[in-house]
């Protein structure tokens, strides 16, 4: 049986309309399902509150008369034994009259017990037949419980749907915020680069690929006053494990080390660095493959090299 089938049984159970087998099946499920136990309590409480929605009524006078007549018709004496019970030995003879007298003394019922027994034998149908308003009220209460159960199930389904929609919208909002933050960073970087390139001491040099990487290309923007440099490269092969590319500034016969970098899967890379200031107009830039972490003097092959800027 599906979980939804048990939920449908909860409202019917709250109205007292389940048969014995269905009740046993539902009880077994409730022992292992905390969600259904909580919903069963809610429906039972709702059904209990519906009792207060029915106006109280007095029992009809005819019902009282019928109950009193039934009580008067009861036989106050219990049935006695009509024979003597004897044993084979004479001394063990038992007088049935004495047994009956003793039984009568012990088993005379109270009038209140007879009345309660009579009331217990009156069926619910007889009470409803005597007072139709009670039947109408009970039917209305049962229908209200069923409607309430269906409404609760619908509201629960709607709540779950709304929760899913809120989670989806929240995820989209977070994604939009990340994209907006990325756009702001790119805008700030573009403005910074424009300001950098517009500075009086900025120079731009192009680097071409050497024999080990003929398809590689790079552009470097360098500020002679501040030493700030930005390198954008493409077409470089992926650096082996433990290796990285390193930028060099060659000026006045000296090879000054710059920062190291690695490329992405498409051979592209971007490096922001700060090199020694005061390089002349004839400074040369180079990119070599060195050990990861960099060297103080170039040792590896040259992958990119510029002409004198």
What's the CA gap between 63 and 74, in Å, rounded? 17
- Residue 208's closest CA among 230, 233, 238? 233
Using a 10 angstrom Cβ sphere, with 0-12 exposed, 13-18 middle and 19 or more buried, the burial of residue 172 is exposed
Secondary structure (DSSP) of 135-195: HHHHHHHHHHHHHHHHHHHHHHHHHHHHHHHHHHHHHHHHHHHHHHHHHHHHHHHHHHHHH
Instruction: Summarize pLDDT for 171-204 with one digit per residue, the tens.
Output: 889 988 888 888 888 777 677 667 666 666 678 8
Q: How far is CA 188 from CA 7, 182, 185, 194, 266, in A?
A: 57, 10, 5, 10, 25
Q: Report the chain's mean pLDDT, rounded to a whole number.
A: 76
The side-by-side arrangement of strands in the sheet containing 269-274 is 254-261, 243-251, 284-291, 302-306, 202-209, 217-223, 228-234, 269-274
What pLDDT does 96 receive? 44
Domain-wise residue ranges, the chain: 1-54+103-198, 202-306
Residue of 122 and 264 predicted with greater confidence:
264
Mean pLDDT of 125-144: 63
Mean pLDDT of 274-283: 70
Residue of 149 and 81 predicted with greater confidence:
149
- Residue 43's closest CA among 143, 149, 147? 149
What is the architecture, at CATH level 2, of domain 202-306?
A: Sandwich (2.60)
What's the CA gap between 83 and 228, in Å, rounded? 128
The phi, psi pair for 206, rounded to 5°, reads -110, 135
Q: Is the pTM of this model over 0.85?
A: no
Mean pLDDT of 111-117: 48
What's the CA gap between 272 and 292, in Å, rounded? 17
What pLDDT does 241 receive? 93
Token digits of residue 131: 């007072």
What pLDDT does 89 receive? 46
Confidence tier at 58 by pLDDT (50, 70, 90): low
């Amino acid at each position: 049986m599906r979980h939804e089938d048990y939920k449908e049984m909860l409202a019917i159970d709250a109205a007292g309309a389940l048969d014995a087998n269905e009740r046993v099946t539902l009880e077994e499920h409730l022992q292992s399902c905390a969600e259904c136990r909580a919903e069963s309590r809610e429906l039972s409480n709702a059904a209990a509150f519906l009792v207060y929605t029915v106006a109280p009524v007095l029992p009809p006078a005819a019902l009282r008369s019928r109950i009193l007549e039934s009580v008067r018709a009861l036989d106050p004496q219990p049935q006695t034994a009509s024979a003597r019970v004897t044993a084979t030995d004479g001394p063990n003879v038992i007088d049935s009259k004495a047994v009956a007298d003793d039984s009568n003394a012990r088993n005379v019922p109270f009038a209140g017990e007879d009345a309660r027994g009579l009331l217990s034998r009156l069926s619910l149908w007889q009470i409803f037949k005597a007072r139709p308003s009670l039947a109408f009220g009970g039917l209305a209460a049962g229908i209200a419980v069923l409607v309430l159960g269906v409404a609760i199930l619908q509201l629960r389904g709607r709540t779950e749907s709304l929760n899913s929609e809120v989670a989806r919208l929240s995820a989209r909002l977070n994604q939009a915020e990340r994209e907006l933050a990325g756009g702001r960073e790119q805008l700030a970087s573009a403005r910074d680069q424009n300001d950098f390139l517009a500075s009086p001491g900025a120079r731009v040099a192009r680097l071409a690929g050497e024999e080990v990487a003929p398809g590689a290309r790079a552009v470097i923007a360098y500020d002679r006053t501040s030493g700030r440099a930005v390198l954008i490269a493409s077409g470089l092969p992926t650096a082996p494990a433990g290796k990285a590319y390193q930028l060099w500034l060659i000026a006045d016969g000296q090879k000054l080390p710059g920062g190291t970098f690695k490329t992405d899967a498409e051979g592209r890379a971007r490096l922001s660095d700060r090199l020694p200031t005061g390089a002349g107009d004839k400074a040369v830039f180079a990119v070599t493959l060195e050990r990861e972490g960099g060297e103080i003097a170039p040792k590896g092959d040259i992958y990119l090299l510029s002409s004198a800027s």
